[in-house]
């Protein structure tokens, strides 16, 4: 394939200035699903699980996974056996990832704080771990032990009492061996061989076998993402999530082959994965485009990559760094790679991203697997308001207040005035019983 045809292989290849409103909106509006049938189907599956519990989950396993489950819960011995059967090199890699995740998340652990706004008043905030959380690990196209680690290890560091994992069953009725091994190594307490929207519903509402959890985390397909949104009124979720995303900001100091490798690695995730490059200058953009096109024929997952690039890929060029920063903050990607000179100096100006990789050596692959950072991140532009998964997602804050007698006396009149203004006479009376009279009113 000649480089002359590269523009047909990408959704967009043009300057930021020349983007029409329609094309710009297409880049920015990246919802998890715009298919109404996904919402309708997911709703029916959730209702079925709520009404029929385990029986519905068994029927879904037969329908979607083509396996008849004797039991939904995976025996603990199967998880231990999976660790024993694991390739030693893979075992070491998983253990290294767990160590790094633990190290990073322990550094993020919050502490109790107290404030004294006035003499005699103490207001405190105490972090308490959740009792039970649910982690979802996808199946389907591949096994994702990294998703197990990203959900379970921070939960364990936070002090969660019980960690539940759901992952789709394979032909033998169990999740993949590597997922089971990761669950054992990460300290998961219970594993269930169920997937899709049914698994999310089971963890949100509980069934005969699956316990109800306090929060559900982890990535999944469009039905999993939609199910998490639909159960969010009953259980906390990490963040709405869609297909994986990468935005690269690159300048002339960067090796274009580095950018090419990151783009192809991103695009091979899924046909709906998003891979966008903002180059500083047209010449840089054309150099990167050429590298991408030259590399495509040798890719093992070429069909997936090309579909991703055709539907959601772009190489754009900015007139300067300022324009690139403005667009990146508006785009708010899941992953943002700053493959540019002075990346560290410019880091504070890039505000909206799930996680930022600073410098061309900071490959997204390292962050997805091994640095200890978390790869469960907001997508679809939601990095404007959501954060990536961390130990903080497995903690709720308890606020407490201590008011001594003197402070109660001094607060009484102003609180009574507030209550009168809001038409709450009993509130006013409760406050004014502490008013200064020399003797406390009973």
Distance CA 328, CA 347 (A): 12
Nearest to 390 by CA among 168, 166, 225, 215: 215
Q: Strand pairing partners for 315? A: 13, 277
Q: How far apart are CA 297 and CA 1, in angstroms?
A: 8
Instruction: Locate 211 and state its tokens.
Output: 């316990």
Give the bridge partners for 124, in sequence order. 114, 400
Supply angle C-alpha 21, 15, 13, rounded to 5.
Answer: 90
**Marked catalytic residue, from 184, 334, 360, 375:** 334
The 3-state DSSP class for residue 342 equals: coil
- Per the annotation, the verdict on 70 as an active-site residue is no
What is the C-alpha to C-alpha distance for residues 348 and 95, in angstroms, rounded to an integer?
33
C-alpha neighbours within 13 Å on the C-beta side of residue 146:
18
Return d(Cα 261, Cα 256) in angstroms, integer.
9
Helices (H) and strands (E) in the chain, counts: 17, 14
The alpha-helical segments, DSSP class H, found in 135-195 are: 145-158, 177-186
Catalytic residue selected from 268, 269, 335, 360:
335
> Which residue shows structure tokens 């209702």?
47
Tell me whether residue 307 is one of the annotated catalytic residues.
Answer: no
Catalytic residue list: 334-335
């Amino acid at each position: 394939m000649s480089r002359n045809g590269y523009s047909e292989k990408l959704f967009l290849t043009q300057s930021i200035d020349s983007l029409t409103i329609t094309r710009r909106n297409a880049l920015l509006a990246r919802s998890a699903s715009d298919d109404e049938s996904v919402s309708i189907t997911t709703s029916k599956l959730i209702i079925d699980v709520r009404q029929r519990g385990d029986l519905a989950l068994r029927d879904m396993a037969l329908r979607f996974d083509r396996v008849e489950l004797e039991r939904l819960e995976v025996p603990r011995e199967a998880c231990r056996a999976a660790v024993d059967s694991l390739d030693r090199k893979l075992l070491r890699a998983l253990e290294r990832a767990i160590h790094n995740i633990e190290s990073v998340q322990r550094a993020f652990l919050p502490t109790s704080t107290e404030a004294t706004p006035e003499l005699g008043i103490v207001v405190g905030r105490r972090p308490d771990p959740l009792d039970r959380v649910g982690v979802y690990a996808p199946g389907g196209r591949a096994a994702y032990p990294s998703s197990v680690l990203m959900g379970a290890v921070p939960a364990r560091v936070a002090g969660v009492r019980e960690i539940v994992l759901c992952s789709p069953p394979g032909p033998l009725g169990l999740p993949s061996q590597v997922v089971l091994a990761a669950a054992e190594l990460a300290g998961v307490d219970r594993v269930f061989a169920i997937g899709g929207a049914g698994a999310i519903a089971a963890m949100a509402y509980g069934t005969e076998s699956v316990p109800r959890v306090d929060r559900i985390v982890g990535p999944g397909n469009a039905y999993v993402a939609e199910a998490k949104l639909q159960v969010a009124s009953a259980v906390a979720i990490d963040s709405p999530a869609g297909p994986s995303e990468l935005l690269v900001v690159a300048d002339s100091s960067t090796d274009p082959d580095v950018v090419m490798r990151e783009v192809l690695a991103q695009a091979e995730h899924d046909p709906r994965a998003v891979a966008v490059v903002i180059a500083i200058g047209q010449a840089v953009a054309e150099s990167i485009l050429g590298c991408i096109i030259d590399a495509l024929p040798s890719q093992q997952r070429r069909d997936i990559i090309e579909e991703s690039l055709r539907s959601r890929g772009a190489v754009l060029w900015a007139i300067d760094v300022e324009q690139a920063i403005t667009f990146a903050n508006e785009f708010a990607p899941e992953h943002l790679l700053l493959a540019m000179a002075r990346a560290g100096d410019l880091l504070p100006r890039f505000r909206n991203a799930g996680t930022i990789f600073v410098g061309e050596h900071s490959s997204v692959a390292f962050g997805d697997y091994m640095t200890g950072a978390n790869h469960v991140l907001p997508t679809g532009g939601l990095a404007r308001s959501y954060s990536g998964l961390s130990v903080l997602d497995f903690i709720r804050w308890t606020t407490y207040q201590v008011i001594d007698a003197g402070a109660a006396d001094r607060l009484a009149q102003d609180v009574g005035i507030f209550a009168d203004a809001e038409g709450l006479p009993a509130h006013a009376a409760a406050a004014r019983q502490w008013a200064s009279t020399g003797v406390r009113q009973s």
